Structure 1
């Protein structure tokens, strides 16, 4: 009897159900086509009524639109002792970008960050004094795909309005109001527009490949959705060391997949932007060996659960 694998997909009741994710799901299905298992998919927002040998949150896009519901779904899977990889407690921890504070406290170099419960003019002034520069990035603590992320160089913040408020700047749609609720303030890193953002992809704790994502002219967003230029390159040694420190914080044997996103700092080193452990695009189609490595990782995950608890993640 063949194994059964379930891939979690977006909530169809939310607009994020549409977009790039079907193509990402197709890439995973193609990569797993040679595996001795049936591949199923269902929205993460729906109860899991059947038994599966492995559940993968790989395409659970939209979790940031209903984070409490998503964490509740992960918690229920953990309580039911379902084999979920990456494990539910790690996935839940990764929902809120304030996980970066945990990494920083453990010695992993992140972009300098001021965490705040609500962005104020005083926070902006403090961040500028701390970071020594005017251009700041304001982003929600829970977000994805650069949603509601703002580059801010003004003095007085506009009043927060609806999510739909935006303007077009050199062809890039950008929000015009600060994020509402818990947020992060960071210095804008110029290298994101000149060199780009590095993404290092790991399967079962081992580096598979690295992708350099350079935004289109006039934009700062490095996602393919915004026409960024992506190419596979050998990561610099400093980038590799940073990624390994982030992976080691969680534990190599506890991660089926991970994407470590980083940007070069003004001193030439690298700073962690994100440790993506929920539904990252693993860029399987960009490297000839990536799909095979991913398939091998999933086969290994079906052999051992790896879903033990850790003191690192709460």
Structure 2
């Protein structure tokens, strides 16, 4: 690798972290390259587990699409702790890559989807009725996630097998009620990007339903999503503010945040996930969002150690 001081020639150097399956970045992430170049920033894709990368040779290391970490979460967190100038920071990565953070947010007053947690080796009997979602507590891109109608004997058997499969792999299983509103209203993702004084709301998108049935163990890096632009409501913004206020250590250190909400049974928004590690930011769905992301990266450059 070229010497850091020779390669930048006065320009800040930023690594956009990805995985081996996406060596040239996700298409949405590539939209920030030209705005960064226009701001005098040299940005390049870097694969998180590539041993030849000199992470200390970058002024800022931005987590973007390292979506293969789920089965190597401990290795990924250990790697994050070795990387200087990482955003979002390594302690946030450690907290946010295990979805048991949802229990902490719920205890702090954030409205969340009710969740049952099944530890490896723990016996679980599926409820007799209702649609439920099963997924691992550590996952990305809806991997190993299935939807089950537990009134159907076959689905009950498949759900139990899903939980056993995850448990046998040493993974914690999450069981949540399937919220019907995702089929109509869809899921709303609220995107926040860093400004001079901390996180600022940037834009929102709608995600259509993705789960059509049981998970049968097929491997996939991520599931395709149907995305549309959406205007966030005042109620959704208020819930997102409550969620972000409960982030350990505060949000001033964050480059980005994504708050995923679905209408609950009474129509009020509830938190599905808080994405602080490697979320798609959907900057291609909002005017000016690639520039806002570039400005967010620029705002974090002076904060490097």
Partners of 1:103 and 1:245 in 2: CA distance: 9
1:140-160: per-residue Cα shift (whole Å, max 9, x none)?
A: 111111111121223543497
Contact kept, 8 Å, 1:149 with 1:179, in 2: the verdict is: no
Q: Are residues 191 and 57 of structure 1, via their aligned partners in 2, closer, same or farther at CA, if it must alter by over 3 Å?
A: same
Instruction: Tell me how far apart the structure 1 counterparts of residues 159 and 184 of structure 2 sit (CA, whole Å).
Output: 32
Deviations 1:203-247 (A, max 9, x none): 0211000001123795799xxx75543222211222111111122
Asked if 1:145 is matched to 2:141, the reply is yes
Q: CA deviation at 1:304?
A: 2.2
Please give the root-mean-square deviation of Cα atoms over the aligned residues, in Å.
2.8
Matched, 1:189 2:179: yes
Describe the shift of the 1:21–1:42 C-alpha distance in structure 2 as closer, same or farther (beyond 3 A).
closer
Q: Secondary structure at the match of 2:93?
A: helix
1:258 and 1:153 map into 2 onto residues whose CA distance is 32
Q: Deviations over 1:78-137 (max 9, x none)?
A: xxxx11111111012111111111111111111011111048774423xx6xxxx52111
Query: Within the alignment, does 1:52 sit opposite 2:58 as a pair?
Result: yes
What is the CA–CA distance in structure 2 between the aligned matches of 1:113 and 1:203, rounded to whole Å?
28
- Aligned CA distance change for structure 1 residues 280 and 290 (closer, same or farther; 3 Å): same
Aligned equivalent of 2:15, options 6, 18, 22: 6
Mapped partners of 1:134, 1:229: distance in 2: 25
* CA pair 91-218 structure 1, distance change in 2 beyond 3 A: closer
Whether the 8 Å contact between 1:119 and 1:183 is mirrored in structure 2 is no
1:42 maps to 2:46: yes
For 1:17-166, what aligned pairs fall within 5 Å after superposition?
17-18=21-22, 21-47=25-51, 48-49=53-54, 50-77=56-83, 82-118=84-120, 122-125=124-127, 134-154=130-150, 156-158=156-158
Q: Supply the distance in 1 between the matched residues of 2:12 and 2:274 (Cα, whole angstroms).
A: 30
SS at match of 1:71: helix
Q: Which runs of 5+ in 1 are unaligned?
A: 162-174, 308-314
Q: Show structure 2 runs of 5+ residues with no match.
A: 1-9, 216-221
* 1:230 corresponds to 2:236: no
Q: How many residues are treated as equivalent by the alignment?
A: 275
Q: Report SS of the residue matched to 2:135.
A: strand
Residues 10-45 of structure 1 deviation map (CA, whole Å, 9 limit, x = unaligned): 1x2xxxx15995313322323423122211222111
Shift of 1:177: 7.8
Structure 2 counterpart of 1:201 = 191
Equivalent residue number for residue 257 of structure 1: 256
1:57 aligned counterpart, secondary structure: strand
